[in-house]
Chain A
Amino acid sequence: MIRMLHLHRWKILAVATLANLVLLANLAAGDPKGLEEIAWLDIAGEGGAALLAFLWLGLILNSRPSGRVTNYLVAGLTGIFIAYWQDVLDEVIRLPEAVVWDHWVESGAMPLGMVLLTLGIYHWQREQLAINEQLRRRERIFREHRSFDRLTNLTSAPYLRRQLAMELGEAGRAVTLMMLDVNRFDHVRRQLGPRDADRLLQELAELLLLNLRQDDLLCRYAGDRFAVVLPGTGEREATLLGGELIAAVDHFAFKTRQGETHLQRLDVGLATARGDEPDALIERANQDLEARRQQPAPA
């Protein structure tokens, strides 16, 4: 759960120190109110807002590496948090009329925080567009973080089915589905051992991505089988692309942890959509793959 927080030790310390300073300043300048003077509803409202702002701060810090965008977001949320914090303290500590800085904390930190947060979100959006560009070929049209495969970080079979349902819904557009798997992977796994076999799949995923076009989508179907959605592509073009992937994997000299070279072959099957449902298209591509699978060389 707590994965990124350790990167932000100093920021967390700064926020905590700031909140403490405000508390100490309030206590130094004013006196606590009596119980009968306290408006509990206001405390619940303002305290809740402060608590939520603090929670957002934690979630943001835990999900982001350090950097400019993170700094903006954190500064903005800190401003908002401090403003609400002063609000809460106002409810329990009475400051003399002569003190005016509390108004500055309350009314100054809030707009300043809002501006910084807006700036942060703007840059965050720019950053996200850049990441989307990097993620192309790994996802198309919609995002669902729960459908990423753990091993390869590609999307998995349920995502493929939903994606195909959307692609096939667009009438008049050719879609070809390609299925790929490693020839005799069961033997490969026994030869390499499970860890190297897993690494082989990870590296194959990267290699396949490098050889695909911008609009193609690579998914991990199951085990050693990958699926490629080729939008706007007919059978001829898909066959060419399949040949390129086979050639790329033929020339891929995978290294085991002992540093030995392991060569492997790819088998490819294709199915071009002809008004079928996603499951039927997947099934046809699977059957094509199994029919074309190269028979093992006689021992």
Chain B
Amino acid sequence: MIEASYELDDKFIRAHHQPVTLMDLVCDQGAEVDRLLRHTGLFYHEVAAGRALASPRQYLQLIHNARRLYPEPELSFLHGQRLFPGHYGAVSALLGNAPDLGQALAVFESAQSLISPLLTTRVARAGDYCCVQWLDACGAGDEYRFLVETMMAGLASVTRWLSGERLPWIFQFSYPRPAYPEQYRVHLGSDLHFDAHMDAMLLPAGYLDRPWPRASATARALALRDCENDLARLGFRTSFIQALYDYLRQRVREPVSLEQAASALGASPATLKRRLRRQGTHFQQLLDRARKHEALHLLQLHGYSNDQVARHLSFNDPTNFRRSFKRWTGLTPSACRRLLARTLDRPDPSARSDEGAC
């Protein structure tokens, strides 16, 4: 079964939590709050009273307005650095009292609807690396890159604060090098890789369970209980697109049809199609995304050969796999693996691999 989830127009984001940090940031630079809230459907007196609930679409409109009123590339990074742990009740206390990086990442993953409603987090531990991947939660469109910058800056900043040290994150981006690389360099770090097909942060896995100095076990236990209550009241942890993506990723070895996915949702195929279209995507795109990410993980982190990946994804013929992979990434599996091996500073693995096959 696919779990309960939210969509672009569900009003559940407390506007006085994360949206207000963005409003404060932009208003500090001299923007008027009325212009900032234009077309969002939010009213300042309701936000200030703590009553306003925003949908992801309204939050995205707020971001759109903020970027117009403060058109500097540093905006997303500054926003991210102000976000966490934040003052969002139990979830902030849970994050602020995380005893180590692994538990902090677990907050992002399991309480995503409370802490990062627009971008989902998936954490994978593979071999000697931990990979934190960021995914579009409900169709961010033009604001997607802004969200990636925001969340990466936010996670890098809060983990530096809580751990007391600068963690040697490796950053991978699905998009090309932007016109303002200096913002990435200063706000994120020196290990930046653009055109790398995934928006992810990687770190040697040894950092996951190093104890952090600030955590209080009692405060954390209470926060965990309250946070679970908040999530139960909300009724969902993640977005509809993410829930479906997770379903497809779990079944990446078997061919899943639209009809099967629809019945797992308890909906008709037409309903599923309509819901996806409303959020700017479609079934084949999600399926391709799930399979592409699985292939990239296996190639980069597990050190699979091209043939092994093809077999894992149930391609019965390497040529077919190569064609699909090229459609997903624009690269052959071997070329992509060389590129990703460089990211991790590993020797080029293709020297020993099945170059001829793929």
Contacts and interface: CB of A to CB of B under 8 A. Distances in A.
Q: Determine if chain A interacts with chain B.
A: yes
Interface of A: 150, 157-158, 181, 186-187, 189-190, 194-195, 198, 221-225, 282, 286-287, 290, 296, 299
A186 B182 contact: no
B77 A186 contact: no
Contacts of A181: 186
A195 B160 CA distance: 21
Nearest to B71: A150
A157 B190 contact: no
B103 interface: no
B298 interface: no
A195 B81 contact: no
Contacts of A194: 25, 28, 78, 82
Nearest to A282: B182
B187 A222 contact: yes
A290 B190 contact: yes
Contacts of A190: 161
Contacts, number: 46
B5 interface: no
A223 B74 contact: yes
Interface of B: 25, 28-29, 72, 74, 77-78, 81-82, 157, 160-161, 164-165, 179-180, 182-183, 185-187, 190, 213
B74 A222 contact: yes
Contacts of A299: 164, 213
A222 B185 contact: yes
Given A150-B29, A181-B186, A223-B74, 17 more contacts: A150-B72, A157-B180, A186-B157, A186-B160, A186-B161, A187-B161, A198-B28, A221-B182, A222-B182, A222-B183, A222-B185, A222-B187, A223-B77, A223-B187, A224-B186, A225-B182, A296-B165
A207 B179 CA distance: 29
A221 B186 contact: yes
A202 to B, nearest CB: 13
A210 B351 CA distance: 56
Contacts of B182: 157, 221-222, 225, 282
B193 to A, nearest CB: 15
13 contacts: A150-B29, A150-B72, A186-B157, A186-B160, A194-B28, A195-B28, A221-B182, A222-B74, A222-B185, A222-B186, A286-B190, A296-B164, A299-B213
Closest 8 CB pairs of A and B: A222-B186, A222-B182, A223-B186, A157-B182, A225-B186, A222-B183, A221-B182, A223-B187
Given A186-B81, A190-B161, A194-B82, A223 B183 contact: yes
Nearest to A224: B186
Contacts of B161: 186-187, 190
Contacts of B72: 150
Contacts of B77: 223
Contacts of B183: 222-223
A294 B1 CA distance: 52
A290 B191 CA distance: 12
Contacts of B185: 222, 286
Contacts of A290: 190
Contact of B81 (A158, A189, A221, A225): A189
Contacts of A157: 180, 182
Contacts of A287: 190
A221 B181 CA distance: 10
A223 B73 CA distance: 11
Contacts of A198: 28
A186 B80 CA distance: 12
Contacts of B29: 150
B82 to A, nearest CB: 6
Contacts of B28: 194-195, 198
A221 B179 CA distance: 13
Contacts of A225: 182, 186
A221 B190 CA distance: 14
Contacts of B213: 299
A290 B186 CA distance: 10
A223 B72 CA distance: 12
Nearest to B164: A299
B181 to A, nearest CB: 8
Nearest to A225: B186
A187 B165 CA distance: 10
Contacts of B164: 296, 299
Nearest to B157: A186
Nearest to B190: A290
Contacts of A223: 74, 77, 183, 186-187
Nearest to B189: A290
Nearest to A194: B82
A187 B182 CA distance: 20
Nearest to B180: A157
A48 B187 CA distance: 52
A194 B26 CA distance: 12
A70 to B, nearest CB: 26
B212 to A, nearest CB: 11
Nearest to B21: A194
